[in-house]
A and B are shown apart, each in its own frame.
Chain A
Amino acid sequence: MTMDIELTVNGEQVRESVEPRMSLADFLRERLQLTGTHLGCEMGACGACLVLLGGKPVHACLVLAVQASGETVETVEGLSERGAIADLQAAFHDRNALQCGFCTTGMVVNAHALLGETPVPARDEIRDALSGNYCRCTGYEAIVDAIAETARKRASDAEASA
């Protein structure tokens, strides 16, 4: 059995017919070629597949594509192309807060959501927010630094323009 689904992905209306068993992650990667959403464990333990569903970060491997019908999805590609994470990307780049790059997209999506909810998080709050995002390469410190630096810059920019 396949089902028709209709959803908004990165601002575009998408209509597809899918098997109910297809995860949102596989749907994004295989149907829409949005391969920036990665699969590291397929059971919600690594955070590589985080996307925004209705504006909130969720594991795309734990959501079925059919569950996302009628919803709004944004992936790292969408965030990147609309410029929403340009400063985060720059901070990660400057701080070398990534190596192999496989966890990076999930990290950035999560960091974007964190800073939306907690504009200037303490270091421990950043680590807590990342508690479900596994990175084998960096040891995390550079990632925490990059997020903290983005938060600091946003705060000082906001102050300057106030």
Chain B
Amino acid sequence: MKSPAFDYIRARSVAHALEAYRDLDGEGVYLAGGHSVVPSLALRLQAPAALIDLSGIDALTGISLDDGWLRIGSMTRHAEIASDPLIRDHARLFHLAAPHVAHPAIRNRGTVGGSLSLADPASEFPAVALALRAELEVAGRDGIRRVKADDFFLDIYETAMEPGEILQAIFVPPVRTGEVCAFDELARRRGDYAMVGAAVQAVVEAGRLADISIAFFSVGNKPTRAGAAEAVLRENAMNDTAIAAAQAALDADLDPSDEPQMPASVRRHLARVLLGRLLGHLGTTA
């Protein structure tokens, strides 16, 4: 399991990285924490001409509040996501999800931007970005644009980023009064990819979970908002009947693949169970 040969470029700036990528004519691969890219090289699943290391670019780091929005630099490591007080207070779902991402040593290197850019449908952070309704700041040769999380994740390992574009930062909208959230996943072992996972955020308003967002991962080919279930909960007072209706609505929301070790029906069942538990948890914390 040794990687094929490649060159290595340590990018000094986003502009430098973009230029290096262009010069490599499609044969370059960006390196963030490297915890997906490096094993894929060891497995010889890809053979780039060069890796362009983004981790030393200052503009991609830092966590700050900007007009109520939280800006998280894309090179922020998972361990920092778990421990940073601004994230705990202003993007709590990231804080709750981080300890579920792999294992402690992986979290010391893996970056949130790397995770979102890879768009592994089994990863936690893409679903968190969806539930938070985050916006993703992307730099390309034509400048900088912001993409809503809802529009960012397109398919398995596929995002709205064009080849060569770089995810610079994640912007999380301001926290609202009465906001609650919950995160959990069902995994075989601690740190494994989940069989099913979900992030939920809502504003409690007159006994309802107003403005709720529910995002599932490990169910289908991309992180998925459960729009039908959200609608049920937006429109009904939070009680057992509403929870059951939301669970039933998931059938329309989710389209898991059928695999020998995890038939679609089982994932659907587990998604219903997990949603019930998360809503129960919100019910008790609200």
Contact = CB atoms under 8 A, between A and B. Distances in A.
A44 B34 CA distance: 11
Q: In the complex, which range does the number of interface residues on chain A fall in?
A: 20 to 34
A62 B109 contact: yes
B53 interface: yes
Most interface-central of A62, A63, A114 (chain B CB within 10 A): A62
A103 to B, nearest CB: 13
Contact of B34 (A3, A62, A132): A62
Interface in B98-127: 102-106, 108-109
Contacts, number: 89
A50 B31 CA distance: 20
Given A43-B39, A64-B34, A132 B105 contact: yes
Contacts of A3: 8
Contact of B38 (A47, A50, A64): A64
A64 B51 CA distance: 11
Contacts of A17: none
B1 interface: yes
Interface string A61-89: 11110110000000000000000000000
Q: Interface SS of chain A: helix, strand, loop or mixed?
A: mixed
Interface residues of B, number: 31
Contacts of A129: 104
Q: Interface SS of chain B: helix, strand, loop or mixed?
A: loop
Given A1-B7, A131-B104, A132-B191, A62 B35 contact: yes
A36 interface: no
Contacts of A141: none
A59 interface: yes
A57 B34 contact: no
A59 B39 CA distance: 11
Contact of B6 (A21, A43, A59, A131): A21
Contacts of A114: 104
Nearest to A56: B108
Contacts of B3: 21, 23
A147 interface: no
A19 interface: yes
A59 B41 contact: no
Given A56-B108, A128-B190, A131-B190, A62 B39 contact: yes
B206 interface: no
Contacts of A1: 5, 7
Given A132-B104, A132-B106, A21 B2 contact: yes
Contacts of A131: 103-104, 189-191
Contact of A57 (B38, B39, B104): B104
Interface in A124-159: 128-129, 131-133
Given A64-B34, A132-B191, A44 B106 contact: yes
A110 interface: yes
B43 interface: yes
Contacts of A21: 2-6, 41
Interface of A: 1, 3, 19-21, 23, 26, 42-44, 47, 50, 53, 56-59, 61-64, 66-67, 110, 113-114, 128-129, 131-133
24 contacts: A3-B8, A20-B7, A21-B5, A21-B6, A21-B41, A23-B42, A26-B2, A42-B1, A42-B39, A43-B42, A44-B105, A56-B108, A58-B108, A59-B35, A62-B34, A62-B38, A62-B109, A63-B109, A64-B34, A64-B51, A66-B8, A66-B10, A67-B34, A131-B103
- Closest A-B pairs by Cβ, 9 of them: A132-B103, A20-B8, A43-B39, A42-B1, A21-B3, A131-B190, A56-B108, A57-B105, A66-B8
